[in-house]
Amino acid sequence: EMSFYGVGDREVIGDKAYRNYQMEDVLWEEGIRLSPLRTKKERRYEGEWVEYVKRVYRRFAESVFSVLRRFLGLRPYSVSLSGLFVKIYMAVISYNLHRLWSAGML
């Protein structure tokens, strides 16, 4: 089931700029769990290991999009959410095929 925000039942990890309890509660009602990085002083701090894992996943996602942007030379703009998914999916496939071709495996 998709929500108004187009994400569905997923967890979204954000950086410290997204620490707004009211927005988290509104998104929770839509089925989206906004999970920003937190400090120990916050009410909704989830523990050291959880925060560490969130940082690792966030850095990984940012690295992937950085590589795709360098490979494509532009940002993947789209009119619809499904169009954006298709562009990103095709960019990942083309990048992996390029890497295989460069390594002589194709």
Cβ–Cβ under 8 Å, residues 8 and 33: no
Cβ neighbour number for residue 37 with a 10 Å cutoff? 19
Distances (CA, A) of 46 to 12, 14, 21, 32, 43: 15, 14, 14, 17, 9
Write down the domain spans for the chain.
1-72, 76-106
5-50: pLDDT as tens digits? 555 556 676 666 567 788 888 878 877 777 787 878 888 888 888 8
Alpha helices in the chain, H assignment, sequence order: 21-29, 48-72, 81-102
Q: What is the pLDDT of residue 76?
A: 65
71-99: pLDDT as tens digits? 776 666 777 777 777 887 888 888 889 88
